[in-house]
């Protein structure tokens, strides 16, 4: 386990950023100034999501415990490959504090706490809880980390990480998904997440270098732009391999020479990386 340095801080307020004409989220007063004081004009939607968040946290405790137990069993079954027999207490807490039912379409809510991937529209999925927990553990999140996520999707993985690190910068190529994820995350008052609607193959150079990078779609290799935005001794967790050709969940560490040292962890199946 990597040694964590620094401490997390959470900035009150949510600023907005404009990328390719699309309003996306960031945090803090300075960001609001950079965005020209633009405000988020979804007060009724925001209020409804906030109510749903509170209800989910109070009404789904047993479902969450059942999901955590399923994740535990999956960790135990794969321990010989992953080297991990279970979740750490901090990752368990982050998973428990993130209501998965709010990140899936209404038609999928009955299965929200099952240990399965679910469709979220636009030919994308929300990863199964075990995979989210495993990727989070492999990323070795520390309170002072700045993390780049490629593939916001529903926003679920970013929400889990937001409990564990300083700031998550998340890039999503599908604009409607980025917009919906932002609405959810703001309702949950996770103000240390920036969501950008952009091409993930370019990463997000504005705040590079990043301590950790997580990629939630499968590519044949790590795009050069993303590699360049990782700090020395930083980690990338990503599924590697073309769709249908045997993907591997991999951990890559950047050495002092700039080379990525790869360790394959587990066979997986992710949607394909759609960066251009």
Strand partners, 169: 148, 194
Q: Domain count for the chain, please give it.
A: 1
Return per-residue pLDDT of the chain as tens, 276 residues.
445 743 332 222 233 333 332 333 333 322 322 232 222 333 444 556 666 666 666 678 999 999 999 999 999 999 999 999 999 999 999 999 999 999 999 999 999 999 999 999 998 999 999 999 999 999 999 999 999 999 999 999 999 999 999 999 999 999 999 999 999 999 888 999 999 999 999 999 999 999 999 999 999 999 999 999 999 999 999 999 976 668 999 999 999 999 999 999 999 999 889 876
Residue 2 belongs to a domain: no
Residue 149 belongs to a domain: yes
d(CA 223, CA 103) in angstroms, rounded, equals 28
Residue 3 belongs to a domain: no
Structure tokens at 24: 């996306």
Strand partners, 212: 147, 235
Residue 275 belongs to a domain: no
Structure tokens at 137: 């553990």
Cβ neighbour number for residue 57 with a 10 Å cutoff: 16
Strand partners, 247: 268
| Domain of residue 173, CATH code | 3.40.50.150
Q: How far is residue 219 from each of residues 3, 28, 194, 201, measured CA to CA in Å?
A: 29, 33, 23, 10
d(CA 166, CA 174) in angstroms, rounded, equals 25
Structure tokens at 1: 């386990």
Q: Report helix, strand or coil for 67.
A: helix
d(CA 69, CA 52) in angstroms, rounded, equals 24
Phi, psi of 95 (to 5 degrees): -65, -45
Which residues are marked as active site? Answer: 127
* 73: containing domain: 14-268
d(CA 243, CA 73) in angstroms, rounded, equals 27
Q: Report helix, strand or coil for 3.
A: coil
With 0.75 as the threshold, say if the pTM is over it: yes
């Amino acid at each position: 386990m990597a040694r964590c340095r620094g401490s997390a801080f959470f900035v009150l307020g949510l600023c907005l950023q404009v990328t390719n004409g699309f309003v996306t989220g960031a945090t803090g007063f300075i960001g609001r100034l950079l965005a020209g004081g633009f405000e988020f004009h979804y007060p009724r939607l925001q209020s409804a999501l906030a109510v749903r968040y509170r209800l989910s946290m109070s009404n789904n405790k047993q479902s969450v415990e059942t999901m955590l137990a399923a994740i535990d069993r999956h960790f135990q079954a794969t321990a010989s490959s992953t080297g991990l027999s279970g979740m750490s207490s901090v990752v368990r807490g982050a998973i428990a504090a993130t209501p998965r039912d709010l990140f899936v379409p209404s038609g999928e809510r009955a299965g929200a706490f099952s240990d399965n991937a679910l469709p979220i529209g636009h030919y994308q999925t929300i990863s199964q809880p075990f995979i989210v927990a495993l990727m989070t553990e492999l990323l070795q999140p520390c309170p002072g980390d700045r993390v780049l996520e490629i593939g916001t999707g529903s926003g679920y993985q970013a929400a889990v990480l937001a409990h564990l690190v300083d700031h998550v910068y998340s890039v999503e190529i599908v604009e409607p998904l980025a917009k919906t994820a932002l609405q959810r995350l703001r309702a949950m008052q996770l103000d240390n997440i920036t969501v950008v609607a952009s091409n993930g193959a370019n990463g997000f150079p504005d705040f590079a270098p990043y301590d950790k990078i997580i990629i939630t779609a499968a590519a044949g290799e790590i795009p050069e732009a993303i590699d360049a935005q990782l700090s020395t001794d930083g980690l990338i967790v990503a599924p590697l391999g073309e769709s249908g050709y045997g993907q591997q969940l991999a951990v890559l560490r950047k050495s002092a020479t700039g080379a990525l040292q790869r360790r394959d962890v587990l066979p997986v199946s992710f949607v394909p990386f759609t960066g251009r």
